Amino acid sequence: MKVVVQRSKGASVVISGETVGSIDKGLVLLVGITHEDKEADMKWMAEKIAGLRIFEDESGKMNLSVQDMGGAILSVSQFTLYGDCRNGRRPNFMAAARPEQAEPLYEAFNAALRSTGLTVETGRFGADMDVSLTNWGPVTLIVDSKT
């Protein structure tokens, strides 16, 4: 499992002109799932991200998690995180889990995030989405459950 974590001052997902998910301050997560991923990976990743101390405290140090600062999560599925660009000019997406495997795991990931007490908004799995955000900092991390 790979997740791109972006600290955000605000974000939204729009599908066909309709806003389906939006947050104020918090984290935008671009979520990729591969064949080897299991529900345990989803739980590990949710706990890792919920506790990441990437927001500044009163001293200006990154000491607060999204939970500590009362933020929310916007979670967006993104199979293209497993695009292999090493050969040719067209990415190979064979490492991405098929939708019938990935969607239940993505839902389990979001449920695990919610179980930490966080508000979690989402896009729509498999949809063509317009994702907008104001990256705060900017702070962007890539968290991989296999490394």
Show which residues are catalytic. Answer: 78-80
CA distance 28 to 89: 28
Per the listing, tokens 């994702």 go with 131
Quote the Cα angle for 62-68-71, to 5°.
95
Residue 34 CA from chain centroid, whole number = 14
CA distance 10 to 33: 25
CA distance 62 to 8: 14
